[in-house]
Amino acid sequence: MGRPADGDPVLRARLDALADDGLLRRLRTLEGPVGPRATVDGRELLLLCGNDYLGLAGHREVREGAAAAALAHGGGAGSSRLISGTLTIHEQLEHELAAFEGTDAALLFGAGYLANVGVVGALGERGGVVASDALNHASIIDGVRLSGAERLVYRHGDWEHLDHELAARRGPSRPPALVITDGVFSMDGDVAPLAELVEVCRRHGARLVVDEAHGTGCLGPGGRGAVAAAGLEGEVDAIVGTLGKALGASGAYVAAHRDVRDWLVNRARTVIFSTAPAPAAAGAALAALAVLRREPERVDRLRANAALIRDELRAAGVGLAVPGIRADRVDPAVPIVPVVVGAAEATMAASEQLLADGIYLQGIRPPTVAAGTCRLRLTVSSEHDPAQLRDAAHRIGRAIATVGGPTGEVVAAT
Ligand SMILES: Cc1ncc(COP(=O)(O)O)c(C=O)c1O
């Protein structure tokens, strides 16, 4: 190989191979804040693939909250939480998050990715078992790999499989197992069978952690998530919530009993060995929580928009069934609506056609989803205008038909 400054021919060849397979990923830049619409290359587009579900990222009060926190507390925390990086604004936000979730305590993390890796590492014990749903988010998968615990991947949403596998691993000297699941699955939009998982965990003396990345702000009373929607508050050992999706800020938290929080402070490596979240992120999240408390109707509008886009897509001939996903686990209030196309090239062609047609709807390919199930992962926000969503559904129907993707009938039959 030549000098590093001349490039890396090995990596270049691999990148070329990815491009040949239709799997090369590229960054696309938004000019200005994220919202129901976004500007790309000077064109204003309808944004249908972000996670800013309540339109809070660009909200004036959220931006002001970030700015005020930076002015009052500085640009960065300057250290990890345990050294000298715990600021009053972190504690204030943790207090508010615990109140929001109805838990004893909360602990901030720099991102949802870090929260999952930290929680699984701290609660998944060496010599024990960590059980993870087959379609859990990559951050959970990575956390399980790092934990050193025995990895048990149960079939997607299949609590009976989990029950059976945990029974086979019971032993008097084994520490409690850890079961972790997405509450709302990020690429499929279905909801975990939380009541059954609570029962299974109780039967086996296992701890249960629910990742509410796409539940917080979207489901349940006041947007308190899938656990609250299922009436299971107080029944799970820890909730992982993100601040960077419906709450329009950045970072994440674990809401749990103080015993769990104290354990995480002592054992979660992504807290111990990482600089504390920036004050601006905490300030933005505090402001977002205040808006959500004051305007719970945002959650109602989000639900209405989620139901509307599903209906309109179906009316436009777009199939919404996802291979391997049970229809009875899809809550129409969930703002994630996957439109499975199949092949990577066709998916990206549909995405490009929509871009030309004024809609930003990114295609999702392996390794994020299984080969052959590439999809347009459509998301709505409470701030989308229903008329624009109706119009978008027709354009999506046209794009899918143009690339020869499956229509409703074909996908529904899988
Ligand atoms: C289910 C789930 N968990 C965790 C994360 C990671 O959260 P963050 O983006 O804050 O790192 C994501 C987002 O990508 C997610 O979809």
Q: Is the CB of 242 under 6 A from ligand 1?
A: yes
Q: Is the CB of 132 under 6 A from ligand 1?
A: no
Whose CA is closest to 31, among 294, 360, 291, 374?
360
Whose CA is closest to 203, among 148, 160, 252, 246?
160
- Selecting among 73, 156, 245, 384, the annotated active-site residue is 245
CATH number for the region 21-50+296-412 comes to: 3.90.1150.10
Whose CA is closest to 381, among 321, 309, 316?
309
**How many whole angstroms from 112 Cα to the centroid of ligand 1?**
5
- pLDDT at position 407: 52
Dist CA 314 CA 394 (whole Å): 10
Q: Which atom of ligand 1 is nearest to the CA of 242?
A: 10
Minimal-distance CA residue to ligand 1 atom 4: 112
The answer to whether 322 touches 374, Cβ cutoff 8 Å, is no
Dist CA 315 CA 312 (whole Å): 5
Dist CA 340 CA 400 (whole Å): 10
Residue 214 annotated to the active site: yes
Residue 394 annotated to the active site: no
Q: What is the pLDDT of residues 196-212, one digit of tens each?
A: 999 999 999 999 999 99
* pLDDT tens, residue order, the chain (414 aa): 789 999 999 999 999 999 998 889 999 999 989 999 999 999 999 999 999 999 999 999 999 999 999 999 999 999 999 999 999 999 999 999 999 999 999 999 999 999 999 999 999 988 899 999 999 999 999 999 999 899 999 999 999 999 999 999 988 788 999 999 999 999 999 999 999 999 999 999 999 999 999 999 999 999 999 999 999 999 999 999 999 999 999 999 999 999 999 999 999 999 999 999 999 999 999 999 999 999 999 999 999 999 999 999 999 999 999 999 999 999 999 999 999 999 999 999 999 999 999 999 999 999 999 999 999 999 999 999 999 999 999 999 999 999 976 654 334 323
Residue 245 annotated to the active site: yes
Whether residue 367 is preceded by a cis peptide bond, meaning omega within 30 degrees of 0, is yes
Minimal-distance CA residue to ligand 1 atom 16: 186
Single-letter code of the amino acid located at 52: D
- pLDDT at position 414: 30
Q: Is the CB of 252 under 6 A from ligand 1?
A: yes
- pLDDT at position 405: 65
**How many whole angstroms from 213 Cα to the centroid of ligand 1?**
6
Dist CA 222 CA 292 (whole Å): 8
Report the CATH fold assignment for 60-294: Aspartate Aminotransferase; domain 2 (3.40.640)
Whose CA is closest to 216, among 123, 115, 309?
115
Q: Which residue has the tokens 């899918």?
A: 400
Q: Where are the domains of the chain?
A: 21-50+296-412, 60-294
The answer to whether 108 touches 251, Cβ cutoff 8 Å, is yes
Around Cβ 5, how many Cβ atoms within 10 Å? 5
Q: What is the pLDDT of residues 242-265, one digit of tens each?
A: 999 999 999 999 999 999 999 999
- Selecting among 132, 139, 147, 186, the annotated active-site residue is 186
Pocket test for ligand 1, best of 137, 227, 334 (most atoms within 8 A of CB): 137
Q: Which residue has the tokens 């204003």?
A: 44
